[in-house]
Amino acid sequence: MNYGYVKVAAAVPRVKVADCKFNASEIEKEIIIADGKGVQIIAFPELCITGYTCGDLFAQQLLLEEAEMGLIQILNNTRQMDIISILGMPVALNGVLLNAAVVIQKGRVLGVVPKTYLPNYKEFYEKRWFTSACDVAENSVRLCGQIIPMGRDLLFETADTTFGVEICEDLWAPIPPSSTLALQGAEILFNLSADNEGIGKHNYLRSLISQQSARCIAGYVFSSCGFGESTTDVVFAGNGLIYENGTLLAANERFSFEGQVVISEIDVEHLRTERRVNTTFAACHANCVSALPVRISTEYVNSRDLNLTRTFEPHPFVPQGIALDERCEEVFSIQVSGLAQRLVHTKAKSAVIGISGGLDSTLALLVCVKTFDKLGWSRQGIVGVTMPGFGTTDRTYTNAIDLMNSLGVTVREVSIKEACIQHFKDIDHDVHVHDVVYENAQARERTQILMDIANQTWGMVIGTGDLSELALGWATYNGDHMSMYGVNASVPKTLVKHLVKWVAEHDMDDASRATLLDIVDTPISPELIPADENGNIQQITEDLVGPYELHDFFLYYFLRCGFRPSKIFFLAARTFKGMYDEETIKKWLQTFCRRFFNQQFKRSCLPDGPKVGSISLSPRGDWRMPSDASSEIWLREVEGL
């Protein structure tokens, strides 16, 4: 099973200018390497059979005939291979010459795509030798004794994907041919290029490819010529780049003196999901595409076992290095701005927040503090309420009090023990039975206290629940599930810890920083069950519902990418190898799927809160799901793993 991945390659072979036999042999070597690694489609540079820098030699009949003989050599020697190859060569047609891409498979030429935009400025003089596809009326060409479909509107269909081809300068045009090809159904775009070097040009090129692959919601494979091209006036470093929807998957070593093959896998299943979700893409198709493309079917080949070379971050919500600082700053700023607008609009006099000494309430408190500071309001308007219960430990209680004091907010303490004991008497529940009634009564008592204090202080209750808890339904309905504005609602648990640590290290005094760092190191727990005999937390959330790093991984690929459970399991097993065995991953994936569906009713009446990333579970925005949808087909697939 290939899980929607298509293995592609960008080749950068050595060349000798005008030595077609040598070049064909080098191309063959790289096709053989790629085929042996399971590559399904490989692209070579522009005019790779002759070399790009032949200049006026392109007018020589001998060179054109040798180029065709080189193509025949490649066809003959790759006839037994399943791989599809895209080669660059000059193609003669009725007295004109085309700079073309030739698509071949199993000894057959499938189609010819001529270059649309010919650069004729600065160091480029392509119009001196070639004719643009715009000026050609024919839709076929004779090549290697065959009549071959030809045009810039060719789409090639395999069993796994549809792809299109453009050549070098085409990408640099205001409206590249690849844009139209993508709207017509191409999921992977190949560019055969001869891109010379210049200061700053490489970074611009990468940006250009990244943006085009993102705009087209497509894979983009770029192959540009390298060592061996003439250096009379310019230098070609050789670029092999593979992008998917704006993200770089693989790149070669530039300025290499040897041939190279860059390989990666493009997730066309993900691209299809993105296109379905992005209604603008469909609107562009309807408004911009008038002519029908020419569709060419490739030969069906049996799928090989997928040897995935791509790697995946175990924490997809948490970037690495300097990007983490940038992410934390941006997320925190969004939270602060969202809360500020709501406070100003409602003319609230205070922000009331329950402080447990855990990560989520700590982050919400920090957001409140920053918001009040930016608004120029006194921090005394923030009412932090600690509500010790049956499971509160000395560590979390002390951290809650210390943090509120060091931040200078109003501190209130209201024990819930007596109220809950009385409540248990009222409903005839044994206080020694630590069941769901015992736990949820505490959560609802705390919410009632916060709501009443908010009324008392003309304020708003600030919610603390995070995205991961909402996905799992790990909240008491109408308890901690409810607030007047939830600042953490789209922040995943794996990012919450980094946000708190980031604020501690960038914007806190020593006392607050020490408390915050201890909170970061505290096990995650709702503390609804009494502590053990040593006063330690007995109810650890991740022991009950599973590791949040796994659930956030599941959540990202389930919601952001629309992947099925078997594919999520496949990726998780590879990504967390050595950390969790497959049975453990399967167990918690089953929990995720079951709880995600069963707990939707809690998300259907979610308080307002700011969206900070690409995923939100707001029923008014990103996620509209019936509360009574069946999880049967997802759970059945998990059980079959």
Catalytic residue ranges? 46, 115, 168
Nearest CA among 389, 600, 394, 359 for reference residue 477:
600
Quick one: residue 289, left, alpha or beta (phi over 0 = left, psi -120 to 50 = alpha)?
beta
CB-based burial of residue 284 (10 Å sphere; 0-12 exposed, 13-18 middle, 19+ buried)? middle
**Are 380 and 409 contacting, i.e. CB atoms less than 8 angstroms apart?**
yes
**Are 393 and 537 contacting, i.e. CB atoms less than 8 angstroms apart?**
yes
Nearest CA among 177, 243, 181, 256 for reference residue 207:
243
**Are 498 and 516 contacting, i.e. CB atoms less than 8 angstroms apart?**
no
Nearest CA among 96, 42, 441, 440 for reference residue 242:
42
Q: Any idea what DSSP says for residue 4?
A: T
Task: State the pairing for strand pair 154-157/294-297.
Answer: parallel
Question: Which residues, including other chains, have CB under 8 Å from residue 400's CB and lie 6 or more apart?
Answer: 355, 356, 357, 361, 384, 386
**Are 389 and 417 contacting, i.e. CB atoms less than 8 angstroms apart?**
yes
**Are 503 and 517 contacting, i.e. CB atoms less than 8 angstroms apart?**
no
HSE-CB of 74 using CA atoms within 13 angstroms: 36
Nearest CA among 571, 562, 14 for reference residue 265:
571
**Are 357 and 398 contacting, i.e. CB atoms less than 8 angstroms apart?**
yes
